[in-house]
Amino acid sequence: MGIRYLHTMVRVKDLEASMAFYKLLGLKETRRHDVEEARFSLIFMAPEGQEDCPVELTYNWDGDDELPSDSRHFGHLAYSVPNIYETCQHLMDNGVVINRPPRDGRMAFVRSPDNVSVELLQEGEALEPAEPWTSMENVGHW
């Protein structure tokens, strides 16, 4: 089973202050994804020459009054896998709950024994939606 580290996500309350902090550490913005419909932005920042190992800053445009005290700063680890269905089946066969099944052939979420959320993303294009994944419901939080 091949797996590749993608990013670590953290939520931020003040985007400009957070970006300035990470810039002081030597990170630079490598890409940005603004989602108007859901009113949030994803800003990826990484050290020079290590663009494939970013931190993802997740910023909610309408604010997040619970930050910084609700311990939701850390979001998830993310890894790409060669076949998301095979990976999820392997995990399920070994007792791991698939919290967000890969109904879209692209993305799934699981949790570690310590409750760390892990995002799994299909390498390249999404696979064709397939059963049993398309019929599976979300379980718990992811």
Query: Is 119 among the residues known to form the active site?
Result: yes
The identity of residue 15, as a single letter, is L
32 exposure class (CB count in 10 Å sphere: 0-12, 13-18, 19+): exposed
Q: Which residues pair with 121 in a beta bridge?
A: 80, 107
How far apart CA 83 and CA 80 sit, in angstroms, is 9
Of these residues, 36, 37, 119, 125, which one is catalytic?
119
Q: Which residues are catalytic?
A: 119
